[in-house]
Amino acid sequence: MTTTIRTIEIAGSPHERGRQYGEAAADLIALAIAYYEEAFAQQTGMVWAAVRRHAATWMPRSRTAAPEILEELEGIAAGSGRDVLDLMALNVRGELIYDQTRREGQSEEQRDSSDGCTSFSLTAGAAGDGHTYAGQNWDWRAGTQDTVVVVRVVQDPLPTLIMQLEAGQVGRHGANSAGIALNANGLGGRFGQSTGLPQTFIRRMALNQSELPDAINTLVRTPAHIASNALLTDRSGFAIDLEITPDGVDWLYPDEGLLVHGNHYQASVPPQLAGRYRPVSADSLFRVPRARDALARVRGTADRDSVLDGIRTAMSDHLGYPESVCTHPDERRPAVRRWSTLLSSCVDLTTGDYFVTNGTPCDHPYEKLPWNVFDGPGSRHTISSHLPMEAQR
């Protein structure tokens, strides 16, 4: 079995890596820009020239905090034949929407801009085969489905990364050869006046770390522009969830090895929102317990095939359809604001095998990527694209 998800492997200097990425995904980057040009116009009234001007405000801060990542982004622009501000706009799409709609006095519900997602971590025997797993359902605008790519980044001496992204982005969710997985969820909201780094850069900075304390420190210490949740799982079996806002951080640990997070504050509501907080995704209030209850049954499985079947079943739950754990487009919404599970991921941090679905997990199988997470610096540097992913376990 093959999948249409495009897989890309890049290596070399930051600019060379970006150039390879941009060349391999130029058509998908064009699709992404076209989608967001329409989406921004409908949701905020901003024409693309205004989007680019606003995106430019993140360039100096990004160059100071993460110069090699910005250099890679400039390489993506060169390889795809686009201006770097087009690429920066794709990387700050959430931050841009929050800034613009906040100025217009819109509510959180009207903004509708944070990533959805239901993330999980299975450690300490929570999986019956004794392995450590991490993953999520990545829920976002259905119109971006055809722009999803999986990118392997060989960046000696930093860890090698495997990430699932929208074409043109430099970071979102994934795992590295040091055995650290990062899964993320939007929390909605922008409070305070400071300008922070975009989430794509912060998440990439965290995945670039070889040591778990450094990844945690990156997430905790780096000023963020909007609120977001980060679930870190380490191959050692340790996991921690960080609810990060522009003004502070709170955290959660697994309960008997199981941790599930959605799109609402679960550790505590930030004091800035006390008394007026409403989850940006109300369905998160039932998605989290539904996924947690189903994943708890994975403890009774005997082998990895059974574990993966149990995880896929949990992530295919349809209570509240279409806005369920497994999210499907709601035909009542305008086309550019319909949500779907773009991809479901599951990485076995014991063996390094990485599995994804091409779309909703209810009707797409987990397929193993052609790379192992633990093939780190010093592994074969082969540049490839359009590779099929064999459905194997």
Is 105 a residue whose pLDDT tops 80? no
Is the separation of the CB atoms in 260 and 113 below 8 Å? no
- Are 261 and 119 within 8 A, CB to CB? yes
Mean pLDDT for all residues in the chain: 91
Q: Long-range contact list for 63-70, CB < 8 A, 24+ apart?
A: 65/197, 65/201, 65/205, 65/222, 66/197, 66/201, 66/204, 66/205, 68/14, 69/14, 69/170, 69/171, 69/201, 69/204, 69/205
* Mean pLDDT confidence for 77-95: 96
Q: If phi over 0 gives left and psi between -120 and 50 gives alpha, with beta otherwise, what is residue 45? A: left
Tell me the CB-side half-sphere exposure of residue 154, using CA atoms within 13 A.
19
Average pLDDT (108-126) is: 76
pLDDT at position 383, please?
35
Instruction: Give the other-Cβ count within 10 Å of 107's Cβ.
Output: 10
The CATH code that applies to domain 114-368 is 3.60.60.10
Among 120-134, 186-200, 277-291, 379-393, the range scoring the smallest mean pLDDT is 379-393
With contact defined as beta carbons under 8 Å apart, do 316 and 327 qualify?
no
Q: Considering only CA atoms, which of 172, 179, 116 is closest in space to residue 354?
A: 179
121/236 Cα distance (integer angstroms): 12
Q: What is residue 202's predicted lDDT score, i.e. its pLDDT? A: 98
For the chain, the distance separating the N- and C-terminal CA atoms, rounded to the nearest angstrom, is 13
* pLDDT band, very low/low/confident/very high, at 1 (cuts 50, 70, 90): very low
Please write the tens of the pLDDT for every residue from 29-60. 999 999 999 999 988 889 999 999 999 999 99
- The answer to whether the beta carbons of residues 188 and 265 sit under 8 Å apart is no
- For residue 115, what pLDDT band results from cuts at 50, 70 and 90? low
**With 0-12 CB in 10 A as exposed, 13-18 as middle and 19+ as buried, what is 193?**
exposed
**Using CA atoms, how far apart are residues 79 and 71, in angstroms rounded to an integer?**
12
Q: pTM for the complete prediction? A: 0.92
| CB burial string 81-101: b at 16+ within 10 A, e below | ebebbbbbbbbbbbbbbbbbb
Under the banding of pLDDT at 50, 70 and 90, the label for residue 391 is very low
Contact 361, 120 (CB under 8 A): no
In the sheet that holds 6-11, the strands lie side by side as 6-11, 148-154, 161-166, 173-176, 180-186, 228-234, 239-245, 248-252
Find, among 194, 185, 198, 218, the residue nearest to 87 by Cα. Answer: 198
Q: Which residue has the tokens 């679930």?
A: 231
Q: Which of 194-198, 208-212, 278-282 has the highest mean pLDDT?
A: 208-212
Please tell me the number of Cα atoms within 13 Å of 198 on its side-chain side: 31
pLDDT tens, position by position, 218-255: 999 999 999 999 999 999 999 999 999 988 999 999 99
CB 280 within 8 A of CB 187: yes
Tell me what pLDDT residue 187 has: 93
Q: Which two tokens stand for residue 129?
A: 């085969």
- Nearest partner of 241 among 269, 261, 215, 263, judged by Cα: 261
Q: Is the pLDDT of residue 273 over 60?
A: yes
For position 188, what pLDDT does the model report? 81
Name the band, by pLDDT with cuts 50, 70 and 90, for residue 94. Answer: confident
